[in-house]
Amino acid sequence: MIDRELWDRGIAAVAGEYALLPPEALCFVRERGEAIRARKGALHGIFHGVGGGDICASCRGECCARGKNHFTVIDLLVHLAAGEPVVTPDFEGGHCPYMGDGGCLMAPEFRPFNCVTFHCERIEGLLEPPEVERFYLIEGELRQLCEEVEEYFGNRFRHGLLVTYGRALAENGPVLSRRRAA
């Protein structure tokens, strides 16, 4: 199965399982999703403050040429909970599949964990020490929120949507929960 087909099927499978979640699970996902978006937005503010968007757009995400696995089930859940449409990645372009001509195709608060927590040397060198400290504090909060989502569903999502969905196919099981019934 090619990446695009795996992506489309993975999106559909998670969206279908999400639609069947009980109200308390939907509430949990919405609450954590809002907190995750807030932390990602704060991290983007630090990144944006040193012109990070222009730097990434100029190299088209060279650091993430293999970034197809950065988008996780958690990222998809955050999109679903907010009613945000999911981008269509370009797996054939040889660059970050979520990067378009004008930069990232996703709004900052919906970008994958790896994308908002990684700074290349060009960007890192522009940050003042207080901003570096603030960045790592927020990154830790974001990491904790993602761990809470994984714990809630009894599943590890950090390997990316394509890997997680591929594993679910191989196991003939659900994508979201390895222990909770939908």
Q: What is the pLDDT of residues 78-117, one digit of tens each?
A: 999 999 999 999 888 777 888 887 778 999 999 999 889 9
Phi/psi of residue 181, nearest 5 degrees: -80, 140
pLDDT of residue 18: 97
CA dihedral 33, 34, 35, 36 (to 10 degrees): 50
Backbone angles phi, psi at 62, to 5 degrees: -50, -40
180 pLDDT above the threshold of 70? no
pLDDT at 182: 42
Cβ–Cβ contacts within 10 Å for residue 85, how many?
8
CA 44 to chain centre: 13
Q: Is the pLDDT of residue 154 over 70?
A: yes
pLDDT digits (tens, 9 = 90+) for 39-60: 999 999 999 899 887 887 777 6
Give per-residue pLDDT as tens, 6-37: 999 999 999 999 999 999 999 999 999 999 99
Q: For residue 74, give the amino acid letter.
A: I
The pLDDT value given to residue 10:
96
Please list the alpha-helical segments (H only) found in the chain: 3-19, 23-49, 52-59, 73-82, 113-117, 121-124, 129-153, 161-171
Could you tell me if 149 and 74 are in contact, meaning their C-beta atoms sit under 8 angstroms apart?
yes
pLDDT at 35: 98
Instruction: Enter the pTM of the model.
Output: 0.90
